[in-house]
Structure 1
Amino acid sequence: MALNSGYIDIKINDLECDCYVTRPKDTSKPLPIVICLMDIFGLRPAMEYLGQKIAQQGYFVIQPNLFYRSARSPIIEKLELLGNKDTIGEASCTVRGFSAKCDKNEVLSDLRAIMDHLAASATYSSITVADKVGLVGFCFGGGLAMRAANEFSEVKAAASIHSGRLALPDVADSPYHFINNIKATLYFGHAENDASIPLDQIELLNKTLSDAKINYSSEIYTGCEHGWTMNDLYKYNKEGTDKVLLRLSELFSSNLQ
C-alpha cells in the first residue's frame, strides 16, 4: 500500500513537538488514529518502519517525539551505536538524561493536545476518526500507553511492547496503579528475557488487570530480549517483530475498524 509519510510540527504550549506521521495515500474514508509511542532511543528509521507497517493496515499513525522539550529528532546522532552491545551504553547515557526530564503528566497533556490538534486541523480532521484512537508503546512508551488508556475515553485499544516496570508496588507512578478508568482492550507483549519486568511482575500485572475486569491479553515472546522489535538494536528479532505486528493488526482491527 502506498503511504504518505513525513515529519510535522505541532505547537504545544508555545513549543514545537516534532512528530512522524504516516498514512495510506488513499483517504477516501476517514482513518482511525494510532498513536505510536517511541522507545527510549526516540524517533528514527526503526520507529518509522513500525509506524509504516501499522499504517499499511489502514490507519493514520502519528509518532510524537516525547522528548521534544529537550531535543528534536533524531535524539541520537550515531544510530550505529545501537547495533552493538559494547557501544549501546554510550547512546543510553544520552537518552537517560532526556527520560529523567520527561514528566509523565506532561506527556499525557501532550497527547491530549495532539488528539485535539488532529480533530481541529483543517488538514487532518476530515481524514481521521477522532473518537477511535489506538495506542502502542514500545519500551519507554509502553507504560505511557497504559496511562493514556486510563486517561482518555477516545482510546479503544492500547498495547505495550517490551516495556518494563509496569507493576511495581512500591513505585507510586508504576502504570498498574492507574487502571481504574480503562475501558480499552489491552495487549501486552513481554520479552522472555527482560530484567526490567521479571515473571513475578508480569503475574502481578495480569492479576491486577483480571481483578479489575479489564479486557486484556498478555503474551511472553520466547527467545526475545528487551527491545526486540527495533531493527537497529543488537537484540532485534525479526520473527518476534512480525508476530507483534500481527497481534497489533488483530487488536486494532477488532477495536478501531
Structure 2
Amino acid sequence: MTDVQGTDLDIQTQDGVVDAYLVHPADGRPRPGVLFYMDAYGLRPHLRSMADRLAAAGYTVLVPNVFYRLGRTPVVELPEFIDPGADPTIWERLGPVVGSLTPDLAARDAGAYLRRLADSPLVADGPVALTGYCMGARLALWTAAAHPDRVAAAAGFHGGQLATDDPGSPHLGAPNITAELYFGHASNDHSLPPEQIERFEKALTEAGVRHTCEVYPGARHGYTQADTPAYDKEADERHWAALLGLLERTF
C-alpha cells in the first residue's frame, strides 16, 4: 500500500472560506485529481480514511466541507457512531443544513474546488474525477454538468433524489455532461425509488452520456459508511472496485 500524506487546508470561495482535507501519495509527485463529495454527516474521520484509501491507489484527493457557509467542521456535532434510529434528532438538525445547499450554490462552489485542484502542484494537468456519497452523488452530477471541461469521470454511491420533479433535479443536467458516469444504487433506499432510477438512466441514455448504473442487492442507503448502521462490507468493497475501475479507465 502506498504511503499517503494528508493535510487540512482552506479554500476561498465567493461566499467565504471552506475547510477541507487534501491527501496524496507521500512521494509528492503530481497525480490525477479527485474531488470527493461528502455525505450529509460531514467531513469526519471515516471520510478521511476513505480519502486516504483512494489516495493510496495513486490519486490526489480533495474533500471539502460543503456546508462551510454554516460553519467549520463539525457543522453539526455527531457521535462517533452515527445512528439516527437511536437519536432521531440527528436528522432534525441535519435536514435544514442539507437543504441550504442549492444546485446553484453547489455549482458555484465546485468552481472553487476545481481551481484549487488545478492550482496544486500535487495534481496532474488535465481534467479530474469526482466521487460522491448520499447527497454527494447529487453534488457530483451538478458539478459534472456545470463544469464539463474540467470533469472526465464522476461516480455516485447510494445517492438519493437523483431524478425528482424538482426544477433543480440532478438528472436534468444530463445533456451538459461529457464525463463517463458510474452510479451504484442501494436496493433498499427510500430516497431513490425504482421510478427515479428508471428516470435517471433514461435521462443519461437520451443525452448520450457514457454511464453504468447498478443496483446493489440488499444494500441500504449509506452502505459505504462504516460509522453508521447502514454499512454493508460486501457492497462497500463492490463500490471500491467500481470506483477504482472507473478511475483506471479515465486516467
* Contact 1:186 1:216 (C-alpha < 8 Å) held by counterparts: yes
C-alpha distance in 1 between matches for 2:203 and 2:22: 34
TM-score under structure 1 normalisation? 0.92
> Which residue in 2 is equivalent to 1:201?
196
Q: Give the secondary structure class of the aligned counterpart of 2:124.
A: strand
> Which residue in 2 is equivalent to 1:17?
18
C-alpha distance in 2 between matches for 1:187 and 1:31: 21
Superimposed CA distance per residue, residues 125-155 of structure 1 (whole angstroms, 9 cap, x where no aligned partner) = x221242210011001111101111121110
> Which residue in 2 is equivalent to 1:64?
64
> Which residue in 2 is equivalent to 1:8?
9
Q: How many residues are matched?
A: 249
Deviation at 1:79, TM superposition (A): 2.0
Q: Which residue type is aligned with residue 237 of structure 2?
A: D
Say if 2:190 is the partner of 1:191: no
How has the CA–CA distance of structure 1 residues 14 and 107 changed in structure 2, closer, same or farther, with 3 Å as cutoff? Answer: closer
> Which residue in 1 is equivalent to 2:161?
165
TM-score under structure 2 normalisation? 0.94
* Contact 1:43 1:75 (C-alpha < 8 Å) held by counterparts: no
Superimposed CA distance per residue, residues 175-223 of structure 1 (whole angstroms, 9 cap, x where no aligned partner) = 1111111110000110010011111211111122112111000111111
Say if 2:152 is the partner of 1:156: yes
**In the TM superposition, what are the counterparts of 1:82-231 in structure 2 within 5 Å?**
82-83=82-83, 85-87=85-87, 89-120=88-119, 124=120, 126-152=121-147, 153-168=149-164, 170-231=165-226
Q: Percent identity?
A: 33
* Contact 1:41 1:75 (C-alpha < 8 Å) held by counterparts: no
Q: Give the secondary structure class of the aligned counterpart of 1:128.
A: coil
* Contact 1:225 1:235 (C-alpha < 8 Å) held by counterparts: yes
Say if 2:231 is the partner of 1:236: yes
Q: Give the secondary structure class of the aligned counterpart of 2:40.
A: coil
Q: Give the secondary structure class of the aligned counterpart of 1:163.
A: coil
Superimposed CA distance per residue, residues 8-47 of structure 1 (whole angstroms, 9 cap, x where no aligned partner) = 111223622000111110133x211100001011110121
Structure 1: any 5+ residue segments left out of the alignment? Answer: none
Q: Give the secondary structure class of the aligned counterpart of 1:69.
A: helix
> Which residue in 1 is equivalent to 2:46?
46
C-alpha distance in 2 between matches for 1:111 and 1:83: 30
* Contact 2:36 2:63 (C-alpha < 8 Å) held by counterparts: yes
C-alpha distance in 1 between matches for 2:48 and 2:83: 17
How has the CA–CA distance of structure 1 residues 167 and 8 changed in structure 2, closer, same or farther, with 3 Å as cutoff? Answer: same
Structure 2: any 5+ residue segments left out of the alignment? Answer: none
Q: Which residue type is aligned with residue 141 of structure 2?
A: M
C-alpha distance in 2 between matches for 1:54 and 1:233: 20
Q: Which residue type is aligned with residue 158 of structure 2?
A: H
* Contact 2:24 2:58 (C-alpha < 8 Å) held by counterparts: yes
C-alpha distance in 1 between matches for 2:78 and 2:194: 34
Q: Give the secondary structure class of the aligned counterpart of 1:191.
A: strand
Q: Which residue type is aligned with residue 240 of structure 2?
A: L
C-alpha distance in 1 between matches for 2:205 and 2:195: 15
* Contact 2:35 2:113 (C-alpha < 8 Å) held by counterparts: no
